[in-house]
Amino acid sequence: MSHSPRTDGIAASRLTPDQLAQNFTDLHPALDPHEAHVAADRCYFCHDAPCMTACPTSIDIPLFIRQIATGTAEAAAKTIFEQNILGGMCARVCPTETLCEEVCVREVAEGKPVEIGRLQRYATDRLMAKNVHPFDRAAPTGKRVAVVGAGPAGLSCAHRLAMKGHDVVIYDARPKPGGLNEYGIASYKSTNGFAQAEVDWLMRIGGIELRTGQTLGADVTLDGLAADYDAVFLGMGLGGVNALGLAGDDLSGAADAVSFIADLRQADDLTVLPVGRDVVVIGGGMTAVDAAVQSKLLGAQTVTIAYRRGQDRMAASVYEQELASAKGVHILTNVQPVALHGSDALEAVEFEYTEDRDGRLTGTGERIRIPADQCFRAVGQVLADTPQGIDLTGGKIAVTGAGRTSRAGVWAGGDCASGGDDLTVTAVAEGRDAAEDIHAVLME
């Protein structure tokens, strides 16, 4: 097979295997022991550490960094895992630049924070490499809990419940567990099959059964789960994808960004994954950036992120935006899509310029066409199926307190539930807190 670049629309093998391997290496390489100790020595070990407050899982950051500084990285890892059992993945994908590191005293004073995320990865990787699990199960309670969704929220909830002595069965629609961590994160952020290795490690707590290929509403029902189990936790994420609802949205070359990222994550050979010559990604969040950057890394010649508001309103962090620009992605703001053009296959995307008038987004009437043979929609996701007898708010499951839904005995957390940011670390926190509440109710 020839690996020379091609210029005829959507094609595979735009780059050589060596080029692709180089492009999809770890975004942030792991620290070695010397680098970790140097990084840890920069921490002031603040008594009222703002980084802890900024962490959705409330990890004792000064403590684990002090443990690294004193040569006890495995103790540091346990400190992390006590609050965030998916601390290894969160160390790789968490937007630390807008959470813990943004409020670091070193960042405020010097413009260079302590590298909390990389230090967290250093500690968690070392303990996980031991192939032991840091926690033991409590005595069996005789209670059974169903968890729908094997993503960050479901896994976190299941692990905490198993620790408490409950038996847990996880139902997931996909063939592999991991949810967003397995299917929805850019490949350069989580390499070498880490997502599955982390799930395997987490399951070593015992007491958790995984059933894949089980979709809520089709293969299992909420009524059935509620009848068979003492409690139910819903953490299935948002399986549906918003459509543009525009002329030409069904042209060949138009697809959703979530599916593109999932295909790339599951590809064994990147040389056979096709990508366009001119790619347009519509949206302004992390998914849009991931799709755009990965298109560029696969060999697309021009990649444009098109967002309807100003760049300061993009949901993707400034760091992610700068990463996209550094990879050669053009960010076009204040444009909204009005049509996709082409005979059979996509040829161009037409946009209208926008402006804010008294807080309302309004089209100016001026239009622009951007050549494109591939267009990815990254304009948000929705619940794929509304669970039976559950109240919604804003298109998500309405929850109060630690994830309680309107239906007794049913909790929810993660992207499918109302509440915090749509982040892996937030989902972990919500799953953990719901598990604690479920345990309290079951043991009353």
Per-residue pLDDT of 303-349, as tens digits, reads 999 999 999 999 999 999 999 999 999 999 999 999 999 998 999 99
- What would the two tokens of residue 39 be? 């990084």
In this structure, are 373 and 252 located in the same domain?
Answer: yes
Say whether pLDDT at 233 is over 80.
yes
Residue 139 within a domain? no
With a CB cutoff of 8 Å and minimum separation 6, the contacts of 21 are none
Residue 260 within a domain? yes
Among residues 65, 97, 129, which one ends one of the domains? Answer: 129
Q: How far apart are CA 86 and CA 80, in angstroms?
A: 9
For residue 56, the Cα-to-chain-centroid distance in whole angstroms is 14
In this structure, are 334 and 261 located in the same domain?
Answer: yes
CB-CB neighbours of 240 under 10 Å: 14
In this structure, are 189 and 269 located in the same domain?
Answer: no
The predicted-structure confidence for 155-198, as pLDDT tens digits, reads as follows: 999 999 999 999 999 999 999 999 999 999 888 888 889 999 99
DSSP state of 198: H
In this structure, are 370 and 340 located in the same domain?
Answer: yes
In this structure, are 184 and 255 located in the same domain?
Answer: no
In this structure, are 67 and 49 located in the same domain?
Answer: yes
Residue 13 within a domain? no
Q: Please list the residues that pair with 411 across neighbouring strands.
A: 233, 404
Residue 210: CATH number of its domain: 3.50.50.60
Give backbone dihedrals phi and psi of 96, rounded to 5 degrees, phi first: -60, -25
Among residues 100, 129, 158, which one ends one of the domains? Answer: 129
Residue 225 within a domain? yes
In this structure, are 154 and 171 located in the same domain?
Answer: yes
Residue 43 within a domain? yes
In this structure, are 369 and 259 located in the same domain?
Answer: yes
**Stretch 72-100: mean pLDDT, rounded?**
95
Given this model, what pLDDT does residue 344 score? 87
In this structure, are 256 and 372 located in the same domain?
Answer: yes
In this structure, are 366 and 413 located in the same domain?
Answer: no
HSE-up of residue 389 (Cα within 13 Å, Cβ side)? 12
The predicted-structure confidence for 244-275, as pLDDT tens digits, reads as follows: 999 999 999 999 999 999 999 999 899 999 99
Q: Which single residue is written with the structure tokens 């599916």?
A: 259
The predicted-structure confidence for 190-225, as pLDDT tens digits, reads as follows: 888 999 999 999 999 999 999 999 999 999 999 999
CA triplet 110, 116, 119: central angle to 5 degrees? 125
CA triplet 30, 269, 184: central angle to 5 degrees? 60
CB 54 within 8 A of CB 99: yes
The predicted-structure confidence for 36-62, as pLDDT tens digits, reads as follows: 999 999 999 998 999 999 999 999 999
In this structure, are 39 and 113 located in the same domain?
Answer: yes
The predicted-structure confidence for 98-123, as pLDDT tens digits, reads as follows: 999 999 999 999 999 999 999 999 99
- Domain span including residue 280: 248-377
Residue 28 within a domain? no
Say whether pLDDT at 5 is over 60.
no
CB-CB neighbours of 163 under 10 Å: 18
For residue 36, the Cα-to-chain-centroid distance in whole angstroms is 26
The predicted-structure confidence for 119-146, as pLDDT tens digits, reads as follows: 999 999 999 999 889 999 999 999 999 9
187 vs 4, higher pLDDT = 187
CB-CB neighbours of 111 under 10 Å: 7
In this structure, are 419 and 336 located in the same domain?
Answer: no
Residue 23 within a domain? no
Given this model, what pLDDT does residue 8 score? 57
The predicted-structure confidence for 385-424, as pLDDT tens digits, reads as follows: 888 889 999 999 999 999 999 999 999 999 999 987 789 9
Residue 298 within a domain? yes
The predicted-structure confidence for 272-299, as pLDDT tens digits, reads as follows: 999 999 999 999 999 999 999 999 999 9
Among residues 326, 351, 377, which one ends one of the domains? Answer: 377
CB 419 within 8 A of CB 278: no
DSSP state of 31: P
Number of structural domains the chain divides into:
3
Residue 122: CATH number of its domain: 1.10.1060.10
Given this model, what pLDDT does residue 386 score? 84
Instruction: Report the predicted TM-score, pTM, of the whole model to 2 decimal places.
Output: 0.93
